[in-house]
Amino acid sequence: TTGPNEVDNYQIGPTKFPAYDSVLNSSSTYQPYSMGSIQHQVRVADGNVYYKKGSISGYDVATIFPGLLYSITPTFTWGTEAKITNQGNASNPAITVDNKNNAFVAWEASGKIYFQKVPSNFAPVSSNPASRVQSNAVKTDIIITTQTSTLEPPTLITPTDGKELQTTRPTFEWKAQKDIFNEYRVMWSQLPNAEGDGKATKMNSSGAEKPTETGIFYFAHKLDPVFDPALERNKTYFWKVVGIKPDVSKTEVQSTTINSFTCNPPFEISGITNYPNPFDPNKEKTKIRYKLSKDADSVTIRIYDLAGSLVNELSGAANGEGASIWTKYNDTEWDGKNGRGDMVINGISVLK
């Protein structure tokens, strides 16, 4: 339903032809397309395709209800009709027009679909409509499809199959032919079909070419450390990419492989903070928050004054980061007292 990228060095090409099953092929019925005050029409007669162009020359006004409702119909002055193919077995013509009034015509013949550009300055070489001569301004028919083409599926890059990752928020990378799909759906799950846990959509415009490999787009999707839940540690996950073709049918083409991986990050402590800060221990407690990359045997939080003397020692939760945002952090409260239960004086404390 879409034309080639280049015809007669013309870079835009048609956007879309009318639905195939709605195109008329009667020898007495035209398939029209209007662009502003210009109308283009195409039809099939005697197995050949005929084209003509007209412009609005006036309007017919009919009264439906006096003083209130009128019917206004434009009248056209038509140019000479011209035959743009001599095949003798053409059928099912379709037409579309760009914003420069170049017309693009497609039709079927012998099981193939043919495409023809009719430039805006096209004019038949004869003014006699009956002759229907073929103009030299129209080039030879161009076959745009002879069989159903096979879409190349996206190719997974990383994580490679069986990979053990050092993170619970991996970056998924893949590549695909440039501009074949208009969007991609990357999916990951503990199920072998890679469906059910997580997915994200990347548009074709987010892809990038490498200088050494033209015609191939590279894509990446990284799980966000704030908004995306972490994957479970020491669990096997499966991932794939589905390319979605930019047409009405929304054709989906899955990557040829489904890769598996596990998450086994090294032990890390991060995200240490406390709130409120500063705080008034006579009215409130401060909440100490931290994140562990995996479960620990125990957690000890030590609070010091600026002289380096130990003020208090607290026991903290030892849970590793969970898959849910609600289980991402561990919290421990401090009431502003030292190890003897006395309130500390105003000042700055350091926690470790």
How far is the CA of 107 from the CAs of 23, 92, 209, 229, 268, in angstroms? 10, 5, 36, 52, 65
Cα–Cα distance for residue pair 309/278, rounded to 1 Å: 20
Categorize the per-residue pLDDT at 66 as very low, low, confident or very high, splitting at 50, 70 and 90.
low
Q: Would you state the pLDDT for residue 143? A: 45
Task: Report the 10 Å Cβ neighbour count for 64.
Answer: 8
Beta pairing, strands 48-65 & 38-45: antiparallel
Cα–Cα distance for residue pair 203/182, rounded to 1 Å: 6
Categorize the per-residue pLDDT at 28 as very low, low, confident or very high, splitting at 50, 70 and 90.
very low
- Collapsing DSSP to helix, strand or coil, 13 comes out as coil
The pLDDT of residue 161 is above 90: yes
Q: How do the domains of the chain map onto residue ranges?
A: 20-145, 155-263, 269-351
The pLDDT of residue 20 is above 80: no
> What b/e string do you get for 219-245 counting C-beta neighbours within 10 Å, with b at 16 or more?
bebebeeeebbbbbbeeebbbbbbbbe
Closest CA to 122 of 106, 103, 108: 103
Cα–Cα distance for residue pair 182/238, rounded to 1 Å: 24
The pLDDT of residue 21 is above 60: no
Q: Would you state the pLDDT for residue 6? A: 35
Cα–Cα distance for residue pair 150/255, rounded to 1 Å: 13
Angle at 275 between CA 274 and CA 281, to 5 degrees: 105
Categorize the per-residue pLDDT at 261 as very low, low, confident or very high, splitting at 50, 70 and 90.
very high
Q: What are the φ/ψ torsions at residue 205 (nearest 5 degrees)? A: -65, -15
The pLDDT of residue 352 is above 90: no
For 198-215, how does the pLDDT look when each residue is reduced to its tens digit (9 = 90+)?
Answer: 889 999 889 898 888 878
- 167, 263 contact by CB (below 8 A): yes
Phi/psi region, residue 27 (left: phi>0; alpha: psi -120 to 50; beta: rest), is alpha
Check if 155-263 and 269-351 are the same fold.
Answer: yes
The pLDDT of residue 135 is above 60: no
pTM: 0.45
Tokens at 227, concatenated: 């908004």
Q: Would you state the pLDDT for residue 187? A: 93
Task: Report the 10 Å Cβ neighbour count for 208.
Answer: 10
- 269-351 in CATH: which number? 2.60.40.4070
Categorize the per-residue pLDDT at 121 as very low, low, confident or very high, splitting at 50, 70 and 90.
confident
Categorize the per-residue pLDDT at 53 as very low, low, confident or very high, splitting at 50, 70 and 90.
confident
Q: Is the dihedral of CA 345, 346, 348, 350 positive or negative?
A: positive
The pLDDT of residue 118 is above 90: no
Run of H or E including 337? none
Highest mean pLDDT among 63-67, 75-79, 274-278: 274-278
Cα–Cα distance for residue pair 255/245, rounded to 1 Å: 13
In this prediction, residues 23-44 reach a mean pLDDT of: 63
- 103, 93 contact by CB (below 8 A): no
Q: Which CATH number fits domain 155-263: 3.80.10.10, 3.20.20.140, 3.30.70.100, 2.60.40.10?
A: 2.60.40.10
Q: Would you state the pLDDT for residue 91? A: 85
Tokens at 47, concatenated: 């197995």
Closest CA to 168 of 242, 89, 222: 222
Residue of higher predicted confidence among 314 and 128: 314
